[in-house]
Amino acid sequence: MTNDFAVDVLICGAGAAGLTLAIDLARRGVSFRLIEKLDDPFRGSRGKGIQPRTQEIFEDLGILDRIVAVGGFYPKQREYRDDGSYADTDVVASEPATPAEPYHLPLMVPQFLTERVMRTRLAELGHRPEFGTELIGFEQDADGVTAQLATRTGEKTIRVRWLVGTDGGRSFVRHALGLDFPGKTLGVRAIVADVALTGLSRDVWHRFREGDMQRQISACPLAGIDLFQLQGPVPLEGDVDLSPEGLTALLAERTGRSDVVVHGVSWASAFNMNARLADRYRQGRVFLAGDAAHIHPPTGGQGLNTSVQDAYNLGWKLAAVISGAPMALLDSYEEERRPFAQAMLGLATSLLDAMKRGEMRRGRDVHQLDIGYPESSLSWEKPERTGGLLAGDRAPDAPIEGAAGQPTRLFDLFRGPHWTLIVVDGDHALIAPRAKLHIHAIGQKDELIDAAGHFRDAYRPRPGDWFLIRPDGYIGAIVTSEEIATLEAGLTQVGLCADAKEAIHA
Ligand SMILES: Cc1cc2nc3c(=O)[nH]c(=O)nc-3n(C[C@H](O)[C@H](O)[C@H](O)COP(=O)(O)OP(=O)(O)OC[C@H]3O[C@@H](n4cnc5c(N)ncnc54)[C@H](O)[C@@H]3O)c2cc1C
């Protein structure tokens, strides 16, 4: 087998997971191809809820403002009673934003618009998905993966170092690896349809017969476009008429109203709900990310978000290993992401049970701000902390000031593909500068000033503490200045080696 690699990474599937990985690799200068078997971009609204943690990631990837601008926020939901009266409630439990958590409300953005913004960002970085290109086979060996592609101009074979299957719930890559996808079919089939309709206002999410799994239906006015997203359970067997006439009849039957009329259907699907998790996320040089690794009911609005976050966890690790970091770094991908997906499957399934009882309420747990990796081999503290912020936690934001008095935020410092190291009232020269690591000192006489105490409140630092923040916004390490040798060893472990200490600090 020749080791003439076309690119370092082949990404199979240009949905949310594949596009996130592509953007992350592109901004890190890693060579890759992103292939997509569809001839054109997917057009449905399905994954429309963008959770606060994903908003933070989108800020880092440079697309948050555009995503907000093309979408919007959730309106209240209106639950109709059998007598036609109704009550309006919030779709999500909302708390105000805080200095540590700047985004608190889920956004509503039809998935095809989110993906369009991602493709625009990718184009700015010099890449685009290759539509009409399907992965139809692959073999791996110790050095790389040989992949067969069916393209618009015939079959091609390419050799790459790594393959990532971001190819959705029916993943070809997962099947080809022979990985198990255990879990259960949940005995619920539902429709989702993007429709033009009249007869319902656009200021609320209309919900009829909540808790009645035979007759429930909802119509959500989609932010950013003029359509509604219809959702409702349907019988497990038999054809479902997804034409405008068929959906109008379904609405009439379930709402008891003849004034609600569907005039057009731009995308529709009937699907069976499953909760399944791949046995492994990696086999040798091949990874799974996104729905390829986990599928679950859409009740918690978690799928797209989890898919984006899988890719965001994998991207920096792959890039680091490609540029020489120890291979062991890649083991932490499954170690960190699979347990979280397992918990998320439980959350989405329990929300489905609550929906069946007409009691579904989405709380803080769907925001994904509390995800962390405290058990990860990449999280360490010296000495061990007993409370407050711990290694593995999400690194909070904090408004601070630069020494010149200008307002800034920790998230401004974190933005980009680098690691960040912050020393509190300490000597930043204890750690030599090096590529891919930004070192900052915070204190009364330092480059950064915690003028309003937000950093103190969120990080609970002691003088001489060092906080290492990973490229994906989690705390990698918290160490004291006495443990600087441990910090240095940890930096080497993740590929951040010093090479010019004497020259720079002389
Ligand atoms: C009704 C509904 C509502 C939802 N609501 C939410 C929500 O509010 N929030 C949320 O987070 N999620 C939601 N989801 C889930 C969300 O849509 C998915 O989790 C998300 O699309 C997964 O992204 P992905 O990139 O992993 O996979 P996909 O979006 O499925 O993309 C996979 C891509 O791979 C391509 N592909 C497949 N095989 C090959 C091959 N062999 N070669 C090349 N390309 C290939 C496919 O064509 C596809 O474009 C919802 C889903 C549904 C059905």
CATH number assigned to the domain comprising residue 202:
3.30.70.2450
Does residue 312 fall inside a structural domain?
yes
Does residue 95 fall inside a structural domain?
no
As a whole number of angstroms, the distance between CA 78 and CA 487 comes to: 53
* Structural domain ending residue among the three candidates 223, 256, 274: 274
Is residue 29 domain-shared with residue 115, that is, in the same domain? yes
Task: Please write the tens of the pLDDT for every residue from 91-133.
Answer: 877 778 999 999 988 899 999 999 999 999 999 999 999 999 9
Q: What is the per-residue pLDDT for 496?
A: 92
Q: What is the per-residue pLDDT for 273?
A: 87
In angstroms, the Cα distances linking 132 to 15, 289, 290, 390 are 14, 21, 21, 46
pLDDT higher than threshold 70 for residue 52: yes
Task: Please write the tens of the pLDDT for every residue from 164-193.
Answer: 999 999 999 999 999 999 988 878 899 999
Ligand 1 mean position to 422 CA, how many Å? 37
Is residue 131 domain-shared with residue 240, that is, in the same domain? no
Is residue 172 domain-shared with residue 223, that is, in the same domain? no
Is residue 249 domain-shared with residue 386, that is, in the same domain? no
Is residue 395 domain-shared with residue 486, that is, in the same domain? yes
Ligand 1 mean position to 292 CA, how many Å? 9
Query: CATH no. for residue 342?
Result: 3.50.50.60
Does residue 41 fall inside a structural domain?
yes
299 pocket-lining for ligand 1 (C-beta < 6 Å): no
Range of the domain at 268: 184-274
Does residue 90 fall inside a structural domain?
no
Atom of ligand 1 nearest to the CA of 169: 30
* Structural domain ending residue among the three candidates 274, 295, 329: 274
Is residue 248 domain-shared with residue 307, that is, in the same domain? no
pLDDT higher than threshold 90 for residue 388: no
310 pocket-lining for ligand 1 (C-beta < 6 Å): no
Alpha-carbon Rg for the chain, nearest whole angstrom, is 24
On average, the pLDDT of the chain sits at: 92
Choose one of 172, 304, 344 to mutate for the ligand 1 pocket test, by most ligand atoms within 8 angstroms of C-beta.
304
pLDDT higher than threshold 70 for residue 355: no
As a whole number of angstroms, the distance between CA 450 and CA 251 comes to: 56
Task: Please write the tens of the pLDDT for every residue from 303-313.
Answer: 899 999 999 99
* Structural domain ending residue among the three candidates 215, 249, 274: 274
Does residue 428 fall inside a structural domain?
yes
Is residue 263 domain-shared with residue 307, that is, in the same domain? no
Query: What domain count does the chain have?
Result: 3
Task: Please write the tens of the pLDDT for every residue from 217-260.
Answer: 999 999 999 999 999 999 999 899 999 999 999 999 999 999 99
Ligand 1 mean position to 169 CA, how many Å? 7
Q: How confident is the model at residue 506 (pLDDT cuts 50, 70, 90)?
A: very low
As a whole number of angstroms, the distance between CA 247 and CA 191 comes to: 10
Q: What is the per-residue pLDDT for 360?
A: 58
Is residue 340 domain-shared with residue 468, that is, in the same domain? no
Is residue 359 domain-shared with residue 261, that is, in the same domain? no
Is residue 226 domain-shared with residue 300, that is, in the same domain? no
Ligand 1 mean position to 298 CA, how many Å? 11
Q: How confident is the model at residue 155 (pLDDT cuts 50, 70, 90)?
A: very high
419 pocket-lining for ligand 1 (C-beta < 6 Å): no
Is residue 355 domain-shared with residue 395, that is, in the same domain? no
Strand order in the sheet with 76-80: 86-89, 76-80, 204-208, 217-221, 228-234, 183-198, 261-277, 294-295
Ligand 1 mean position to 302 CA, how many Å? 11
